[in-house]
Structure 1
């Protein structure tokens, strides 16, 4: 596990074959068919995975390929065996006026049911603009879809907190609010109540280490420890 700050992301779309998806196609198809049988709401869209990256000074540079969600979900479920890619995604760390952090609890119909983490999502082709992959745009979209909040309601900290957990790289954008955690949560829950099938089942408030839960992935705990230690 590593955590560090970068000033900017310089990411591009550079398509190349993903051998894992090609060589294990039949296994992937069988796995995903069973997953869809268990969770019919899951569909096989298109997503982006990082196949090259480097850190140069204050910049995190990298290139993405496009693949299908079925291959990505199988790779993730099978423990992310070495496959020449990373799941590099943007995430929103919402910090309330009282310094608490708000996380989402994933709904039962989702692939990550019950897990507790930031509003986020694996980037997809909608995040490609003129050949560049914009994780900032991904964060804006996921924040609105999952919580109902617009990014203009927050003070956006410059740069990104990068947390790497194996082949999972979270690019975390820190968003600070003038509202308390309780007020933010109430507004987000109103949004969830209006949704026909919200991605989140609940909003969870973390005020310190006593609020850590096993359902939080290690990269989330790493960010929380960094945040509260810094405070």
Structure 2
């Protein structure tokens, strides 16, 4: 498959009511799947999350490149089953925001997902699936606010201490839509890493198992990186806009 990377000027995310037929029609199968996943990982929590039922790239009247998304509320167990059943409903997307925290010497901070995570062991920018707390005035979904919260909760870093790059980078990888905002910190890679690892050591139940700094293209071969992370890092570390990946 091909992963596409696009530069955007802004996001326009709205909360909508949506009847998800997948969740209704396969409710029994979803329930059994959740029971099995909970048996293997009792820390999983069936909270509410937001998924997208519409995603559209557009040029606005001011010539800005905009990603418009309509997001609806569902349960995490429904989302997890949809993902692990192989995305049977391709009209729905997992849209989320990610902070690309970069040190002053050009390295990027990645978190290693902890054992309680549904993607334990994988490497990502600190992030999470948006939830109803990200719905703000006027029915807007604040993905920048979601990014700030997840960065603080997972790493202890304060986004206010960084310089945000203008615009966003969206990575489309089948049903994943990762919206990345680069945050430039005035700290060395070693200082960022030391601070995040100290934060994790203080937490009684940290979300991350560890943190790592990635600075060169040789790091892209790490098998713990999902396709959308490889695509973004390849581009920012000197790769192409479209990265051909194996179907696996």
Distance 1:191 1:22 in 2: 41
Is the 8 Å Cα contact of residues 90 and 175 (structure 2) preserved in structure 1?
Answer: no
Which stretches in structure 2 are left out of the alignment for 5+ residues? 60-64, 240-248
Residue pair 2:97, 2:178 contacting (<8 A) in 1 also? yes
Which one of the candidate residues 42, 53, 59 is aligned to 2:44?
42
Deviation at 1:81, TM superposition (A): 2.2
Is 1:64 the counterpart of 2:71 in the alignment?
Answer: yes
What is the CA distance between 1:177 and its match in structure 2?
1.1
Residue 112 of structure 2: SS of its match in structure 1? Answer: strand
2:108 aligned partner = 101
Judge which range, 76-85 or 210-219, deviates more: 76-85
Residue 159 (structure 1) aligned with residue 167 (structure 2) = yes
Q: Deviations over 1:140-170 (max 9, x none)?
A: 1100000001111111011110000001000
**In structure 2, what is the equivalent of residue 118 of structure 1?**
125
Alignment of 1:136 with 2:144, yes or no, is yes
**Cα deviation code 1:155-191 (max 9, x no counterpart):** 1011110000001000001001111111101000111
Equivalence for 1:90: 97
- TM-score normalised by length of structure 2: 0.91
Q: TM-score scaled to structure 1, two decimals?
A: 0.97
Aligned position for 1:175: 183
Whole-Å separation in 1 of the counterparts to 2:18 and 2:90: 13
Which one of the candidate residues 80, 83, 89 is aligned to 1:73? 80
Contact in 2 for aligned 1:20/1:83 (Cα 8 Å) = no
Question: How many matched pairs?
Answer: 230
Distance in 2 between residues matched to 1:116 and 1:98, nearest whole Å: 21
Once superposed, what is the RMSD of the aligned Cα atoms? 1.0
Extract unaligned runs of 5+ from structure 1: none
List structure 1 segments (4+ residues) > 6 angstroms apart after TM superposition. none
